[in-house]
């Protein structure tokens, strides 16, 4: 096996976002804002969505 990281599992469309997933999204959001306070909102959404595996429209 290779040592490549596995991509995050995507949340399926129409499925419920559970409490632990909501907390994860909030933590990604806060960490991203601390790391880059001048980030635009659209870039912030894209970054959080990519990191968490949960779509922007969820």
Q: What's residue 41's pLDDT?
A: 93
Q: What's residue 44's pLDDT?
A: 93
Token representation of residue 30: 């806060």
Give the chain's count of helices (H) and strands (E).
2, 0
Q: With DSSP H G I counted as helix, E B as strand and the rest as coil, what are the percentages for the chain, rounded to 5?
A: 50, 0, 50
pTM: 0.69
CA angle, corner 32, sides to 48 and 23, nearest 5?
60
Instruction: Give per-residue pLDDT as tens, 13-58.
Output: 677 777 888 898 899 999 999 999 999 999 999 999 888 888 887 7
Query: pLDDT confidence of 1, banded at 50, 70, 90?
Result: low
Query: pLDDT confidence of 12, banded at 50, 70, 90?
Result: low
């Amino acid at each position: 096996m290779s040592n490549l990281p596995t991509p995050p599992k995507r949340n399926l469309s129409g499925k419920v976002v559970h409490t632990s997933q909501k907390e994860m999204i909030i933590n990604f959001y806060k960490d991203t804002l601390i790391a880059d306070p001048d980030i635009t909102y659209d870039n912030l959404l894209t970054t959080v969505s990519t990191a968490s595996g949960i779509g922007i429209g969820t």
